[in-house]
A = this chain, B = another copy of it.
Amino acid sequence: MFNRKPVVTLENPTVEKAAESIKEAVSKRKAIILVGNCWVDYKGRASSKLESGERIVIIKKDGSVLIHRPFGYEPVNWQPAGCLFQTSIRGETLQVRASRKKPSESVKISFDKVFVLSSMNLIDRGEFSLHASELDMQKAILLDPSLLEEGFKPISYEKKVEPGFVDVYGVDREGRLVVVEIKRRTAGRNAALQLAKYVDFVKTVTRRELRGVLVAPHLAKGVQTLLTCLGLEFKALEPKNCADILRKSETRKLGDFF
Contacts and interface: CB of A to CB of B under 8 A. Distances in A.
Contacts of A129: 48-50
A130 B127 CA distance: 37
Contact of A64 (B31, B64, B72, B132): B72
- The contact size tier of chain A is 35 or more
Contact of A51 (B46, B80, B126): B126
B73 A64 contact: yes
Interface stretch (A110-118, A187-195, A229-237): A110-118
A58 B48 CA distance: 24
A38 B220 CA distance: 38
A130 B51 contact: no
Nearest to A51: B126
A130 to B, nearest CB: 5
A54 interface: yes
A225 interface: no
A48 B243 CA distance: 10
A257 interface: no
Interface in A102-125: 113, 115-116, 118, 120, 122-125
Contacts of A123: 53-54, 70
Interface stretch (A3-11, A15-23, A162-170, A196-204): A3-11
A59 to B, nearest CB: 11
Given A47-B130, A51-B128, A54-B120, 12 more contacts: A33-B33, A35-B120, A46-B132, A47-B131, A49-B129, A52-B126, A55-B124, A61-B70, A61-B71, A64-B73, A73-B80, A76-B128
Q: Which 7 A-B pairs have the closest CB atoms?
A: A53-B124, A51-B126, A53-B126, A54-B122, A70-B122, A7-B115, A47-B131
